[in-house]
């Protein structure tokens, strides 16, 4: 916040923050996660700036599903933007080649839909019903399964809808053109998951042709390798939800660690949410040594998405300067505290006043 304050002191960016007590403390006190009141209040905002999530006092999955995933779904934040930038000297590769990969992870469908269930003798028989509720659609699926061995089964359906893939492809093409890229890379596993990713390939083919862009297909396993071997050959990368979750953690490490990763959950027509890619790091909470850079990079994305390109760039340069001058927390080799790094970055911003 100190950094955003500094930006507002020296530029036309002005803001009037309202704080929401959404998180584990309130949950432990009242049992509330993301309530209907939260949702309607947040719907009236221009953007959401979200702290890191996770608390050892709460069972894994509760906060993630009840807050983070719910926010992505109710605000229909269908793009998860995760840049992977070569923050030297933190890049753990032997070759010092600069790269700047912008992952666009689809954020609402695929194996993240919660379209799941059980059938079999322990679950009352062969029938199961799946219901999903999304901004784009509600969907009901009836399953009537019979197995030869009468065993119990668990299932998780990965769904892609034509409309959701089309808006995703549209966004990826516009994003690539804005960045000055000539191609979009689409990551999938279309050699095994043929229907979902086959349809997705076809839609991306049509869209990239419409926008005059090249389209490159990468299987996710080959992509994991290529990110290490030739990261400089990628620009705008579109990836479905689950593979995107995995590849962007690899990307975070590639660019210098989770502490360097910002993440934007974007609804281009609605309320977007910006967060550090990392969790809350409960093991070091309260000690003042957490690296604030990912949160600053999330603020950069917030500014850029709100139309403040130059101001966003300033935060990028401020982070670069804090690495170059060794003004970092101990995890990056420095000896400053969280708030001292924040102050160094804010000071850099203030020094950019024209
Ligand atoms: C992320 C996180 C979340 C995800 C979890 C916390 C549900 O890993 O933002 O990448 O899987 O999307
Ligand atoms: Mn993740």
HSE-up of residue 264 (Cα within 13 Å, Cβ side): 26
CB within 8 Å of 291: residues ≥ 6 apart:
257, 259, 260, 328, 329, 331, 332, 338, 341
Q: Which numbered atom of ligand 1 lies nearest the CA of 69? A: 7
Q: What's the Rg (C-alpha) of the chain?
A: 21
The string of pLDDT tens digits covering residues 304-338 is 999 999 999 999 999 999 999 999 999 999 999 99
Instruction: Provide the H-helix boundaries in the chain.
Output: 2-10, 24-30, 36-43, 62-63, 70-74, 162-179, 194-211, 220-229, 241-255, 293-305, 309-324, 338-351
Residue 103 in contact with residue 84, Cβ under 8 Å?
A: yes
List beta partners, residue 102. Answer: 83, 236
Q: Which numbered atom of ligand 1 lies nearest the CA of 263? A: 9
The string of pLDDT tens digits covering residues 180-200 is 999 999 999 999 999 999 999
Nearest ligand by distance to the CA of 112: 1
User: Model's pTM, two decimal places?
Assistant: 0.94
Q: What is the DSSP letter of 109?
A: S
64 lines ligand 1 (CB under 6 A): yes
Question: Tell me, what's the pLDDT at 285?
Answer: 82
Domain ranges of the chain: 1-75+281-354, 91-113+162-255, 114-157
Q: What is the DSSP letter of 325?
A: T
| Mean pLDDT lowest among 2-16, 70-84, 276-290 | 276-290
Kindly indicate whether the domain formed by 91-113+162-255 is annotated with CATH number 3.30.56.10.
Answer: no
| Mean pLDDT lowest among 51-55, 94-98, 225-229, 294-298 | 51-55
Residue 142 in contact with residue 213, Cβ under 8 Å?
A: no
Residue 330 in contact with residue 281, Cβ under 8 Å?
A: no
């Amino acid at each position: 916040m100190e950094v955003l304050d500094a930006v507002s002191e020296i530029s036309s960016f002005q803001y009037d923050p309202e704080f929401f007590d959404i998180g584990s403390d309130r949950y432990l006190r009242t049992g509330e996660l993301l309530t209907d009141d939260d949702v309607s209040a947040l719907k009236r905002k221009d953007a959401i700036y979200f702290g890191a999530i996770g608390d050892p006092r709460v069972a894994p999955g509760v906060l993630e599903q009840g807050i983070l995933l719910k926010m992505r779904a109710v605000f229909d934040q269908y793009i998860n933007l995760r840049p992977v930038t070569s923050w030297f000297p933190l890049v753990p590769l032997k070759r010092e080649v600069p790269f700047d990969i912008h992952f666009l992870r689809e954020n609402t469908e695929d194996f993240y839909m919660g379209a799941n269930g059980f059938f079999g003798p322990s679950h009352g028989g062969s029938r199961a019903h799946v219901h999903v509720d999304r901004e784009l659609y509600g969907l009901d699926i009836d399953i009537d399964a019979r197995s030869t061995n009468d065993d119990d089964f668990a299932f998780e359906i990965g769904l892609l809808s034509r409309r959701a893939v089309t808006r995703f492809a549209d966004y990826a093409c516009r994003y690539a053109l804005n960045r000055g890229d000539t191609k979009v890379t689409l990551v999938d596993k279309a050699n095994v998951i043929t229907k979902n990713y086959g349809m997705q390939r076809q839609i991306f083919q049509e869209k990239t042709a419409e926008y005059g862009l090249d389209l490159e297909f990468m299987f996710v396993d080959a992509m994991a390798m290529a990110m290490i071997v030739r990261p400089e050959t990628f620009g705008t990368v579109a990836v479905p939800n689950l593979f995107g979750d995995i590849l962007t953690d690899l990307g975070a490490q590639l660019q210098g660690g989770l502490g360097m990763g910002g993440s934007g959950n974007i609804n281009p027509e609605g309320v977007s949410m910006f967060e550090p890619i990392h969790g809350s790091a409960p093991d070091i909470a309260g000690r003042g040594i957490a690296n604030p850079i990912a949160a600053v990079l999330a603020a950069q994305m917030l500014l850029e998405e709100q139309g403040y390109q130059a101001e966003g760039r300033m935060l990028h340069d401020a982070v670069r300067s804090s690495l170059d001058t060794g003004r970092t927390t101990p995890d990056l080799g420095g000896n400053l505290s969280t708030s001292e790094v924040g102050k160094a970055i804010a000071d850099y911003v203030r020094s950019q006043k024209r």
